[in-house]
Structure 1
């Protein structure tokens, strides 16, 4: 549709770590992102028709991570516009998620199908998020989609020194 801005909503988990605040981010899957810098993202996705953005963030977290988000109150970190024009809105939640234990209980994760290589007629399926990591905010910054680093700044402003 012409003139319609794509939107996404996501959930950024954070926890105290030995080197300060840590955030849970995911590496986008598939061949397009294989050799790219800034290939990490907040677990997020597009809303269903009529879906509340916060509900989208929670649904997409479960779909991309493979388990529902741990319980906890959320803080709205606002929106950013990414370079391609997509508007992303993110909530932060203080919660821990044991990634080692996650491997044993992880349900199916959302996948995408793309034509690869482009114009080849061949399609491949891959997970939207192929890797998850807890990283200190400063270590996450150079990996994250550039516009999404604003969420790290906003989170750090809410939780200084932690």
Structure 2
């Protein structure tokens, strides 16, 4: 089973919680929106620290490093069986000037042809309800968990 680790960045205002999500790059995802967004995350190598991988992936997909008081969330399992570990972090991040790493994919699938694409093509802050619609359905569980933790602190 594949395992990924990522970071759910959030910021609070008096009336809303906003979540930072990324949109995958490339032709497959170009016209997909609802359910296509994700937390910045990536595959964990065997024996690697989950949190360290999450920080590396955040940097690769945004060009920015993050650190602070990470809140460990319960892992979720996506539809295809990938287990995702995540940490929430309260931090604001300006979305202009972000830059993703470039990856090589086979396109069209099974064609033997390759193309280079940005791993992430868009970054955006969404209020809670919209974030739950935009994010991969399984990953919405991270938002729900975090909001339960936040409401129990109030």
TM-score between the two structures when normalised by the length of structure 1: 0.86
1:116 is matched with which residue: 107, 118, 140?
107
1:43 is matched with which residue: 40, 60, 69?
40
Q: Which whole-Å CA distance do the structure 1 matches of 2:135 and 2:19 have between them?
A: 11
Q: Which whole-Å CA distance do the structure 1 matches of 2:93 and 2:128 have between them?
A: 16
Query: Quick check: 1:17 aligned with 2:6?
Result: no
Hey, what does 2:119 align to over in structure 1?
A: 128
1:116 Cα deviation after fit: 1.2
1:137 Cα deviation after fit: 1.1
TM-score between the two structures when normalised by the length of structure 2: 0.91
| Superimposed CA distance per residue, residues 119-155 of structure 1 (whole angstroms, 9 cap, x where no aligned partner) | 3332111111110001111111111111000001001
Hey, what does 2:139 align to over in structure 1?
A: 148
Query: Quick check: 1:92 aligned with 2:92?
Result: no
1:110 Cα deviation after fit: 2.4
**Runs (5+) with no aligned partner, structure 2:** none
Q: Which whole-Å CA distance do the structure 1 matches of 2:73 and 2:26 have between them?
A: 28
Q: Summarize the alignment of residues 52-91 of structure 1 with structure 2, pairs less than 5 Å apart.
A: 52-69=49-66, 71-91=67-87
**Matched residue SS, 2:92:** coil
1:34 is matched with which residue: 30, 36, 40?
30
Question: Given that residues 19 and 136 in structure 1 are in contact (C-alpha distance below 8 angstroms), is that contact kept between their aligned partners in structure 2?
Answer: no
Q: Which whole-Å CA distance do the structure 2 matches of 1:86 and 1:26 have between them?
A: 18
Q: Which whole-Å CA distance do the structure 2 matches of 1:18 and 1:35 have between them?
A: 34
Cα RMSD (Å) of the superposition? Answer: 1.8
**Runs (5+) with no aligned partner, structure 1:** none
Moved >3 Å (runs of 4+): none
Question: Given that residues 58 and 65 in structure 2 are in contact (C-alpha distance below 8 angstroms), is that contact kept between their aligned partners in structure 1?
Answer: yes
1:18 Cα deviation after fit: 6.2
